Amino acid sequence: MGTAASTDRQARGRNRRGQGERLRKDIIEAATRLLDELGDDEALSMRAVAREVGSAATSVYLHFADRDALVLAVLSRCHDQLTRAVDDAEAASDDPVAQLRARTLVLGAWAYQHPGLYKVLHESTLNQRADMPFKQHLADRTTAAVQRCMDAGLAPVDEAAIVALDLRAAVHGAVSMRLNQTDRPWPPLEDQVERFLTKLVGIRSSAY
């Protein structure tokens, strides 16, 4: 004889009318939590996600053709959250340098808050073989932030895209090393970012 819980699980597996989109969101949220714990897209299973949301595995496949599609949906969601966080940080100041500094620190702070997701986004097998246009969107926004500093005369005029790439590479490298070598006496990330802005972008160092 089935329990109430199993009955509800079966009903969810059939996607009750009006519940399909809610279930899709639940699946993405569950996969997000699991990926942040695992730090490895290949360690994620669709069955584990189904158990997390209390649904049948077939329901997960109704929304996502395979694991890669689900992981990409999670990473796209992370991008949206990061974009909003960066926008909020930049909105706190009209100064282009302060905006560039703020967005860079937000990206670093997010990696510390979600180390597993950061590894999937930048170091996973999926990252090596899948197209993630949303990552380019963030890169383009960093280039635009660097360009604003140059246009305002706050940084030497140069190829903004190349300077932004150098900055991103330095920040990602610093964050990755911190996450993978936790026993080292790392300086505050804020101090490292300030040095990156000074040496790579050409912004004059200042108190912040």
- For 24-43, write each residue's pLDDT tens digit: 999 999 999 999 999 999 99
Specify the higher pLDDT residue, 4 or 63. Answer: 63
Each residue's pLDDT tens digit, 95-123:
999 999 999 999 888 888 899 999 898 88
Q: Which pLDDT value is given to residue 122?
A: 84
C-alpha atoms less than 13 angstroms from C-alpha of 175 in its C-beta half-sphere: 27
Residue 4 has pLDDT above 50, yes or no: no
5 burial class (0-12, 13-18, 19+ CB within 10 angstroms)?
A: exposed
Mean per-residue pLDDT over the chain, rounded: 87
Neighbours of 22 (CB within 10 A): 12
Q: What does the pLDDT average to over 173-198?
A: 92
Q: What pLDDT score does 7 carry?
A: 39
Phi-psi region of 82 (alpha: psi -120 to 50; beta: other; left: phi over 0): alpha
192's CB contacts (< 8 A; 6+ apart) are 174
Banded model confidence at residue 206, pLDDT cuts 50, 70, 90: low
40-82 pLDDT, tens per residue? 999 999 999 999 999 898 999 999 999 999 999 999 999 898 8
* Domains, the chain: 4-64 (no CATH), 72-201 (1.10.357.10)
- Chain centroid to CA 203: 26
pLDDT above 90 for 142:
yes
Q: What proportion of the chain, given as a percentage, has pLDDT over 70?
A: 89
**Is pLDDT of 145 > 60?**
yes
User: Whole-model pTM?
Assistant: 0.81
What Å distances lie between residue 73 and 19, 27, 79, 176, CA to CA? 19, 10, 10, 23
pLDDT computed for residue 2 by the predictor = 45
